[in-house]
């Protein structure tokens, strides 16, 4: 029986939430969360390292268990739900994508910086060849004017993307900005439009609602806000809000609340909170995964993590440039020492 839905929610706690546990998910944890989400009626469940296929590395963080083991475990218990994977060209390759598909992944989300869609065509094409749903995932969407965002989204669509996402990776955008961007995409593209928000300025829910009103039919959520920075749009709250608005998600509210409370909450090292570092991420427009790295670098070099994040924003550092965080912190420490002499 097909469940009637007005929007389709992709649950990202097992991918974006990987950042929050420093990529230490176990097979048993992924199985338990996937079973709960599937039973609640979540249509898509994303499972990879926080930085996508092959993300496990010294630069991004080493996984406890390989992506492929987690993907296979999730696919085995997903039932009617579909397992999605994230792939950042230059980190993940076609080889990993083929393996993920062979293990049961049904959707690939090909993520690029908002101005670099042209690195994605072969990955989107391969996803389609493998029979997967293919998604263009434009990260750090606030860093490009609307015209450029539309141009890059149209490229993703031309490569064969079934859905194109506008991704507020920094939690920087405000609802009216989301409305402008999603509306422009809806007017310019034939494919479905999606939105992925972060809660660094406490705007994730408002931005997700704005996106839906402007024509987005694919929305990302994370149970218990489990994600990078201050986390993502909270899935269980999103389901409740949608029900209040008369928007069908096909997700059972009580069941998704129970997954969040009984299965996911015990996995959290800390409850996602809008900390001073998270606010700085959203205020300055910095990639949400940078908070932990900046805090660690700040402790190492005696520099306020907020100052490091502001400097990274000035230099327009983007996802994939995590190695720059240590360089910037060390440079700031040297400058601070020189002034104090």
- Please list the active-site residues: 19
Residue spans of alpha helices (H) in 83-188:
94-102, 121-129, 146-158, 175-188
Distances (CA, A) of 162 to 33, 76, 196, 211, 319: 27, 25, 16, 18, 24
SS3 content of the chain, % helix, strand, coil (to 5): 50, 15, 35
Question: Which residues lie below 8 Å from residue 179, measured CB to CB, with a gap of 6+?
Answer: 210, 211, 213, 214
What stretch of H or E contains 324? helix 323-340
Known binding positions for substrate? 15-16, 169, 196, 287
Residue spans of alpha helices (H) in the chain:
17-20, 27-40, 67-77, 94-102, 121-129, 146-158, 175-188, 204-214, 235-245, 253-258, 276-284, 290-301, 305-314, 323-340
Is residue 216 within 8 Å of 179, Cβ to Cβ? Answer: no
Cα–Cα distance for residue pair 53/197, rounded to 1 Å: 21
Give the phi and the psi of residue 215 in degrees, each rounded to 5. Answer: 120, 5
């Amino acid at each position: 029986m097909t469940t009637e839905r007005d929007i389709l929610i992709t649950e990202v706690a097992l991918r974006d939430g990987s950042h929050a546990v420093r990529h230490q998910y176990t097979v048993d944890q992924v199985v338990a969360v996937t079973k709960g989400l599937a039973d609640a009626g979540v249509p898509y469940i994303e499972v990879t390292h926080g930085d996508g296929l092959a993300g496990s590395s010294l630069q991004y963080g080493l996984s406890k268990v390989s992506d492929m083991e987690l993907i296979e475990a999730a696919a085995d218990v997903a039932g009617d739900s579909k397992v999605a994977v994230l792939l950042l060209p230059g980190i993940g390759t076609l080889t990993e994508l083929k393996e993920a598909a062979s293990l049961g992944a049904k959707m690939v989300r090909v993520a690029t910086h908002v101005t670099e869609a042209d690195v994605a065509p072969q990955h989107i094409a391969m996803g389609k060849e493998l029979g997967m749903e293919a998604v263009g995932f434009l990260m750090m969407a606030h860093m490009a004017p609307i015209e450029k965002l539309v141009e890059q989204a149209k490229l993703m669509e031309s490569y064969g993307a079934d859905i194109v996402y506008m991704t507020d990776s920094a939690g920087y955008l405000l609802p009216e900005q989301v409305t402008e961007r999603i509306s422009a995409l809806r007017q310019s593209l034939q494919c479905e439009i999606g939105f992925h928000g972060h809660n660094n300025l406490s705007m994730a829910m408002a931005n997700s609602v704005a996106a839906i009103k402007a024509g987005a039919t694919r929305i990302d959520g994370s149970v218990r806000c489990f994600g990078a920075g201050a986390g993502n749009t909270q899935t269980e709250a999103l389901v409740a809000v949608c029900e209040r608005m008369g928007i069908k998600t096909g997700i059972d509210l009580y069941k998704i609340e129970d997954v969040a409370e009984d299965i996911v909450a015990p996995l959290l090292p800390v409850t996602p909170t809008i900390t001073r570092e998270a606010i700085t991420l959203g205020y300055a427009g910095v990639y949400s995964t940078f908070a932990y790295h900046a805090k660690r670098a700040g402790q190492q070099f005696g520099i306020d993590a907020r100052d490091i994040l502001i400097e990274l924003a000035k230099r327009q550092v983007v996802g994939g440039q995590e190695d720059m965080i240590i360089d910037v912190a060390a440079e700031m420490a040297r400058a601070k020492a020189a002034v104090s002499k």
